Every structure is written in C-alpha cells, then in structure tokens.
Amino acid sequence: MRYYFNNLLLLIGFLYVQSSSLMGQGNSKAFISGDFADPSIIKVKNRYYAVGTSSEWAPHFPIYTSDNLHNWKQVGYVFDKTPEWTSGSFWAPEYYFHNNTYYMYYTARRKSDNVSCIGVATSKYPDRGFKDHGVIISFGKEVIDGFVYNDKGQLYITFKAYGLDQRPIEILGSRLSADGLKLEGEMFSLLKDTNRMGMEGQSILHNDGFYYLFYSAGDCCGKGCSYNVRVARSKDFKGPYEEYDRNPVLQTNEGWKCPGHGTFVQQNNGKYMYIYHAYNKESNVFTGREGMLAELVWGSNGSWPSFISQQTDSSSIGNIAASFEGQKIAPYWQWDFRNAAPVVRQGKGKLYLSGTCRETNNTGVVLAVRPVSNHFDMTTTVVNSNAALKGLAFYGDANAAIGIGAVNNKVEFWMVKDNSRTVLATQDIKAGLPVQLKFTMKPDLTCEVYYRQEGSDWQQMAPGIKQDVSFLPQWDRSPRAGLHFKGESGLEAAFAAFGVMNK
C-alpha cells in the first residue's frame, strides 16, 4: 500500500498546461505546443479562440482559448460525434462570425466516395454546440482549405481545388448566400499554381487599396516538407493577383521549419497577428505541426507587408498529472476513430478502458494525448489483473505502435510495425498486486520501458534492445502517447493514474 500511496502522491491532482513561448529563433517554443496544424483564430470581445486540424483523431477539431495569445487552455472540440457524411481526414477548420452565429468551415472526406469536400457547422457559441450542415463544396477530385471573406457586404468563400481537367492547382472562389450555408453564382479563379509549387491555406486581408492574398506553397507535411508562406495582391477581390517578387515572406529558420497555413486576428491595439503552424527542428515530426504566431507589419507607400516572429518568456510545456476524479474525462484525450471504439469511464481515482477494434487492428484501443516533446516519461499504474493487455502505448496508427502492458501475471513489451505484432520481451510479476509502468521516449528516437511493484525499484525490460521508434509518425500527424487496452469483450483495464513528464 505504501508504494500505491506514494504513486498517487506523485501524480495526484489535475494539471495540463498546453502553453509555451511563441515563435522566435533557436529553441523557442510554440504558442500551442504539439500537433495543431492548419490553425484558425477568432476574437470574441477580449478572448481568443483557436481551432486546428485533427486528421484521423477523434474527437474532431480541438478548440483552445486564451485572453492574451500567450497562455492557452483546451476547452473542447467542434465535433464530439463524427458527422454522418464523413469518413476521415478532418483538416483545416476555419472560424467565421456572421449574423450573431459562429461558422466552422472544415474539410473532411465524404464517406460515399472518399473525396475531400468542405462542410460547414454553426453554433451560437465559439467553443461548443456546433451543428453540422453537411457538404457545402464538392468540386473536382478534391477541395480543401475553405476561407470566408466579406467584401463590401457580400460574403465569399475561397478554397483550394485540384484535379480539374489538366488545369493546375488553383485558389477558387464563389459567392456565399446570406446565411453562409450555400454557394451562389459561378465560381471564379483568384490565383493559379502555374509554377507547380503547390498552393493552399489562403487568407485574405485588405489594406491601403489592395487585397492581399497570403497562401502556403510547397509540401506541407513530413520529414521532407518544404512549406512556406507567400503573398500576392490585387486592386480587385477577384483578381488578377500580382505575386510579390521577394516571396516567401515566412520560411524555415534555424529553429522551425516549413511554416504555413495561417489566418489573421486583429488585437485591440490594431496589430494583425498571424496564427500558423511549423515543425520544431529538434522534435520534428514527433510533435507535429505546432501552433505559431507572428505579427504582420504593413509596408508604407504601397510597399509589401512582412512578418515579425513573436516570443514570450513562458516556459511551460505540456506536462500531465491526472488522478481521474469526477466522471467526465479531460478534454485532451483523443483516439483513432477509424480503427477502435474506446469505452471509457472514470471516477474515484480510477479510469476504466475497454472497447472493440476492427479485425485488422493488431494494436488495440489507445486513449492518448498529443506529445509536446521528443523526450518524456509516460507513467501509469494498472490496478486490475486479467487476460487483457493493459498499459501504455506510443501510437502512430493501428499498424504502427509500441508499448508496455500487464497481462495476467506478466509484463509484456510489444510492438506493431507494418501491421505485424511482435512481443519484444516478457517478465513475470507478482499476482494480485498493482504494477506501475513507465515508457521513456528519448531524443535519439529510441524508447525504454520499465515496471515495478510495491517494495521494488524500477526494472528495465530488455535493456539490451535499443528499440527504434522512428516508424511511428504518419505523414500528416504526430503519434500520440497514452493508455492502452487489448482484450476480449467483457474485460477492461483499470488505471489508478496517468502522467507525462517532459524532460
């Protein structure tokens, strides 16, 4: 009992800090750390709300709030339940406020044909209660990245389209109805990708007689990304747009790479701030495309605008210590909705996890959080014993995961790679006693796993194995770290605590 009590003291309470320093140079931290791609921002009185891509994780489109742009707290998701028409690829949500209503224009794949379309949802609140209205744009082989602009009282929506009968990728536009829920009139082209660089993630501002169209070019994602931010301008909203001859205006520096896909918000002092994403060069794809911030500086006498990167002295970076009090789970938990359906309940200091998986899923159910570092310790305590595997996992996909868990009277170090499951090591443990587990992610992209029971020190499993985990990240998203269950129907895992400590 002493071991169990000490473990609870170690992880007691509830803390999840998801704020850190804004973009600067070198080792500065993101303003929203961890996987938060394609961000959009809106200001409501003196409070800011930001929403980002969730890809294949559920719930869909995480929402954060802040009163100063520096300290952010996650408050929920746009969709707690997957919209009926969708099958995945939840990308590029875009806030808009009109007629006392909050709109969320978003990209997802249509279930009937797996084509990416743009849908829309509405709410009377910026952080909850969104009602889905289904597809608003279906065009060509794929449309993504909706952005809404009000030009002299007329609403327009712009978007990226490709697969258009040998035409290049281009930014298209259309009038929107007054209620923001359907297109009107003929579509028109704002900008064509004649240089074949790629073109997406557009955002438009008007200043000093010009419409400025900011967009991202290059490959967005993964180790080989080449993203950057460019700008073009026109005297007319519909174009033609002239490219800035000194593009890009935001690009890779010594600390961050592949910046892109942003939108603007205006502060009370009149300054425009640009929220976008970039990869941290230290942790790279293991922490995903993180939320960044830069100030837009307008040129004088018709000269082009530029960006100034933002910094803060904040140094907190997303540690977690959860004790599972109360019935409602914390908003940071996510899961792979395509491959597993978790069943979660908690209360009185315990979280119970079970669920069903697709037959092709060799990993099991993972209830996970977004890592904000490539060097961390993840811990939990398993308090029940049965034939299910119960413990910790670092999860990229159902085909790519690794972890440590307890099953009957053994501890198992396991890996799923290329959809093939391997048991790397096993160790007997004392039956009937809780077992504490630890998973350590190291900056050299290897991991170590440990276990201990009451009265014992940490024991490393398979210390001779230098296990590589570089296979985990998927092309458009970082892996997740969290609690794991794999077992038959009627069984469940019981956890007394969960923690992530970044180093």
Report pLDDT digits (tens) over 462-473: 999 999 999 999
Mean pLDDT, range 123-141, rounded to an integer: 96
Do the first three CATH levels of 37-246 and 320-502 match, i.e. the same topology?
no
pLDDT tens digits along 331-366: 999 999 999 889 999 999 999 999 998 888 999 999
Tell me the domain boundaries of the chain. Answer: 37-246, 320-502
**Residue 164 pLDDT grade (very low, low, confident, very high; cuts 50, 70, 90):** low
Mean pLDDT, range 81-109, rounded to an integer: 97
**Nearest one of 413, 412, 405 to 482, comparing CA atoms:** 405
Report d(CA 184, CA 283) in Å as an integer.
45
Examine the pLDDT at 11 and tell me if it is beyond 70.
Answer: no
pLDDT tens digits along 279-329: 999 999 999 999 999 999 998 888 999 999 886 544 445 899 998 999 999
Examine the pLDDT at 55 and tell me if it is beyond 70.
Answer: yes
Mean pLDDT, range 178-184, rounded to an integer: 97
Note whether 373 and 443 are within 8 A (CB): no
Note whether 251 and 229 are within 8 A (CB): yes
Name which of 14-28, 92-106, 278-292, 327-341 the model is least confident about.
14-28
At 22 the pLDDT is 29
Q: What is the mean pLDDT of the chain?
A: 91
CATH for 37-246, options being 3.40.640.10, 2.115.10.20, 3.30.30.60, 3.90.1150.10: 2.115.10.20
Examine the pLDDT at 16 and tell me if it is beyond 70.
Answer: no
Share of the chain above pLDDT 70, in %: 92
**Residue 162 pLDDT grade (very low, low, confident, very high; cuts 50, 70, 90):** confident
**Residue 436 pLDDT grade (very low, low, confident, very high; cuts 50, 70, 90):** very high
CATH topology of domain 320-502: Jelly Rolls (2.60.120)
**Residue 197 pLDDT grade (very low, low, confident, very high; cuts 50, 70, 90):** confident
At 89 the pLDDT is 97
Examine the pLDDT at 382 and tell me if it is beyond 60.
Answer: yes
Examine the pLDDT at 96 and tell me if it is beyond 50.
Answer: yes
Name which of 12-21, 91-100, 149-158, 222-231 the model is least confident about.
12-21
Strand runs labelled E in 251-371: 256-266, 272-280, 289-297, 306-309, 320-322, 335-336, 340-347, 350-357, 365-369
Share of the chain above pLDDT 90, in %: 84
189 token code pair:
């082209």
**Cα–Cα distances in Å, from 494 out to 428, 430, 435?**
19, 17, 11
At 312 the pLDDT is 52
At 449 the pLDDT is 98
Examine the pLDDT at 258 and tell me if it is beyond 50.
Answer: yes
**Residue 163 pLDDT grade (very low, low, confident, very high; cuts 50, 70, 90):** low
Q: Which amino acid is at 155?
A: L
